[in-house]
Every structure is written in structure tokens, then in C-alpha cells.
Amino acid sequence: MKNAEKNKTYNLNFYINALIASPFFILFFISLSKYTNILATYTLFNIFSFCIFFKIISKKSYFFEKFLSFYLFMGFFVKFHFFTIYLPDYFLTLGISNLSQEGLEEALNVSILAFITFLLVSYVLKKFFFNSRSNSQAIDLSKYKGCIFAFSKHYTKIYLLYFIFALFFISANLKYNIYSKGNISDAPQIINLIFSYFLTVGLPFIFLSILHFDFLRKKSISAILIFYNILESFFISLSLLSRNFILNLLVFFVGFYSIYSKKDYKKEINFRLTLISLVLLLITSIAISLFLVDRKRNHDFNNVSIIQETSNILTPENPQVIFSSLTSILLNPKIRALLFDRWVGLESVSAVVSYPNKNFRLLKMGLKEEKVNELSFFDKNFIDSPYKNIDFTKKNFITVPGFIAFLYYPGSYLFLVVAVSFFIFTGFYIENLAFKFSFGNDMLAAFVANLIAYRFVSFGYVPKNSVIFIIIILLSLFGYYFFLKMVERGLKYDIE
């Protein structure tokens, strides 16, 4: 009976994964007829891209693996094939005017090498260094008796204080625009830093910690709290002028599903009912969020002299291209910006490849970049930036290279392999710390892993800020860990 149920689950997972993968295989086969360079490079690029894709859907992947694989797959594979099919002159719109066919071939080779390094290092780290963690194991509640008792006794006050705290930061940022994407705030720097921390790291960190202990207390997660998390993410994204609302929710549900999949809790959580009840709210809130954020961004940036993110659209010159209704939708500037343009990847690597003087001095200059009110180092040196006419005293727009492109500044394959390996190790290590220091909080571990993965794919602008960002996350984890330890040691209640 158990084997039949197991086989049924396996077959269902197989069909779901096949359904998810099918659009990308179709994209690959359509693109194949339009690619005119060396077929071997093209084939290897696709093979290792799909290896990365399967890390996204694999249950054995760590959170950091899943999220970094997702960003790499979208920024390299999806972007490459979509623009190969529909916009072969796409790189010209990005200011990469001197990219030759040989240069694009080298960009694919750099991508392949980075992918292989990621795959191999991930395998080694899981096999020999971080192999003690199992998503199938339930949480040992004996380690948290004091914390669970304290939370159970004061959970109403804890939730109330948190709601007030969150309401203050979100409403203040909505009203005064203290910290948001692309804006330069008039607020004192310390206020700006506090708001940036709590809106991007602090509030989700605290809420997921509270939610975790609520789960440990009841062995279930209330649908009301999930609804609240959706609404909070909605208003945070709106206040930040960020289109990452859907990604933030996906990260939360990946962590939530990881808890659900643990053997001892599977029957305790009405996952299917909760999921069905959330679908309508999710679709509605995502649509409203995208509409409001886009409207607010247009309002805030309408007086800025800038080539907008969504305006770099070229019409395919190939008369054989048939504009079906789906194609027309995908090539719509706003839809294209959301689905394809926003991902950092192959275009940045191509820009670095086309730069003639790659060396370690260039890398050193990139590492020394400071945040000033002008074009970024990457915008000034690697592309004909669409942001060159911006008034940087009012707004701040940058192009980021991502960690793979940045690490190819010296033009050395050996350095690329070593440096990418270090980045991957860092991501695994921090996720492992997040899981241990939060006492098995999958939702918090997923949140932290996504922060690191997203930071890596956006790496390259003022690199020291990324170091500071990682230190802040580590300090948050250490602070949380020692706080829980103090609660455990300070309480002498006999819970039983």
C-alpha cells in the first residue's frame, strides 16, 4: 500500500516537473534553428543550463541552490533563447555595440565554466561538508521548551507589538518615501539605513521567527498569518517601489512547503486546503502590486531624463516571424521587462567579454568602487549606459554586472573558477548557519538563502556594500541565536 502511494506521488511529481520544463524545451528547439555559431558550445550551454534547471525543482537541493539556480537559469538560458528567437539585436539596445560572434561564443564559454563550477562545488559541499541536514527530519522540540513556553504565554502581546512595529515602518515609508528603489532620500543617513534594514531584512526576519514558534506551539500554521504575510509583503514591495513581490512570496512558500514535507508534521498541516484558499488572493494581490508599483514608479520618475527599463524594444527584422497573440504579449515592453529584461546574466558577461583590456587591475578598480551620485563603474566602462543623462542628484539608476561577469574582469578562467567556488561556499555556509541558528526554521533559512543568492546575481556595484550586507545578515543570525539561548537559560519552568 505504501509502495503504491509512493509510486503515485512519484508519478505526479514527474508529470508536474515535465509540465514545468516543457516551455523551456520548446524555447530551446525553436532557438536551435536560429543559432549560427559553433553548435558544440550551444549544446554544452544548454546541457548545463538544464542541469541547473533541475536543481530548481529537485527536492534534494538546498534553498541557496534552488534560488541561485533560478536566477542563473532566467538570466542566462531564458534570456539567451528568447532574444535569439525574437530580438537578435538585443545586445545593441544595451549599449554593447562591439560584441562579435566570437565574443558571444566566449560569453557562452564563460557561462558554461561558471555553471560547471557551481554544479561541482554544490555536489562536493553537500557530499562532504553540509550533509548532516535532512529536510525529512522533524524538529526536536526538546531544544526549545523554554522558548515555546514563553511564546505560548505571551504570543498575543508578541503579535500585537510586531504588527505595530511593522505598521510604523511600512506606513512611514509609504508616506515619506524614506527608502525605495531608484530614489535619493532627503532623510538623514542613519534613518535611511534603519528603514532599509527593517524593510528588506528585519521585518521578514522577525515575522518568520514568530511564525516558526507559532508553528512549534501548535504544529500548524494559521491561514490568517499566511494572509497577513502576503499583505505585508504587498505593502513592503509597494513602499520600496519593488517588483519582487511575487519572488518574496515564492521564497516564503518554498520554506513553508519544506516544513510541510517533514514526516512528523505532514498530517498536521492542512496544506492543500490552505493552498487552494490562497490562490485567488495571490493572483489578485500580485496583479494589484505590479499595477500600483508600476504606476508609482512612473509618477516618481516621470521628470527624470532616462531611457526607461521597458523602452529598449526592437522589432524583429525577420519577416518570417509571426506575431501570435502570445508573442505580442511577451514582446510588450512592460511584460518583457518583468519576464526577461530584469534578470542579470548573459548580457553582462557579454559586455565584459567585449571589453578589450581585461586584467586584475580592472578587477581592483571595480572592487574599490564607492557609492557616488554618478554612473556606476560598470555603466561607465563596459556599456553605453542608458542612464548617462540622469540627474543623479534626484534619482539613482545603475546597471549591475552580477558575480559571474564581475569575476571575469581579469579575463582569467582559473580565477573565475576559484572565485565562483568561494561564492558558492559562502552561500551554502550562510544558509547552514541560518538553519542551525534559527533552530531549524526552514522559512527563515529560505529567506536568508534567497537574500544571499539575489545579492550574488546583483553583485558588482560597490562590492564592499555586499560584504557589509552579508555581515549584517550574520549579525542578525548571531543576535537571534543568542537571544533564544538567553530565553532558554533564563526560564526554569517545568512545562510538562
Query: For cell 517601489, what's the residue?
Result: 241
pLDDT of 26 over the 90 cut: no
Q: Are 360 and 419 in contact (CB under 8 A)?
A: no
| 3-class SS of residue 119 | helix
Of 8-17, 322-331, 455-464, 482-491, give the lowest mean pLDDT range.
322-331
| Number of Cβ within a 10 Å radius of residue 87 | 21
Give the chain's mean pLDDT. Answer: 79
For residue 364, CA distances in Å to 356, 408, 464 come to 16, 12, 12
Of 161-165, 196-200, 300-304, give the lowest mean pLDDT range.
300-304
Q: Of 212 and 270, which is predicted with more confidence?
A: 212
Burial 464-482 (b: 16+ CB within 10 A, else e): eebeebbebbbebbeebbe
- Mean pLDDT computed over 236-242: 82
| 3-class SS of residue 307 | coil
Q: CA angle, corner 167, sides to 279 and 297, nearest 5?
A: 70
pLDDT on residue 58: 87
Of 198-202, 327-331, 337-341, 414-418, give the lowest mean pLDDT range.
327-331
pLDDT on residue 371: 79
Q: Are 457 and 71 in contact (CB under 8 A)?
A: yes
Q: Of 495 and 449, which is predicted with more confidence?
A: 449
pLDDT tens digit sequence for 3-20: 554 555 555 566 677 777
pLDDT on residue 35: 77
| 3-class SS of residue 243 | coil
pLDDT of 266 over the 80 cut: no
Distance between CA atoms of residues 111 and 113, nearest Å: 5
pLDDT on residue 228: 84
For residue 361, CA distances in Å to 369, 402, 435, 450, 466 come to 13, 19, 38, 31, 20
pLDDT tens digit sequence for 99-148: 667 778 899 999 999 999 999 999 999 988 877 555 444 555 566 666 77
The pTM score is 0.87
Q: For residue 144, which phi and psi values (nearest 5 degrees)?
A: -125, 20
Q: Are 407 and 388 in contact (CB under 8 A)?
A: no
Q: Are 310 and 211 in contact (CB under 8 A)?
A: no
pLDDT on residue 317: 43
Q: Of 392 and 413, which is predicted with more confidence?
A: 413
pLDDT of 278 over the 80 cut: no
pLDDT of 209 over the 80 cut: yes
Q: Which three cell numbers stand for residue 466?
A: 555586499
pLDDT of 80 over the 70 cut: yes
The DSSP line for 2-44 is HHHHHHHHHHHHHHHHHHHHHHHHHHHHHHHTT--S-HHHHHH
pLDDT of 330 over the 80 cut: no
pLDDT tens digit sequence for 148-188: 777 777 778 888 999 999 999 999 998 888 888 767 777 78
Q: Of 69 and 383, which is predicted with more confidence?
A: 69
Distance between CA atoms of residues 221 and 226, nearest Å: 8
Distance between CA atoms of residues 309 and 101, nearest Å: 26
pLDDT on residue 171: 93
pLDDT on residue 308: 43
| Number of Cβ within a 10 Å radius of residue 226 | 20
The DSSP line for 210-252 is HHHHHHHHHSS--HHHHHHHHHHHHHHHHHHT-S-HHHHHHHH
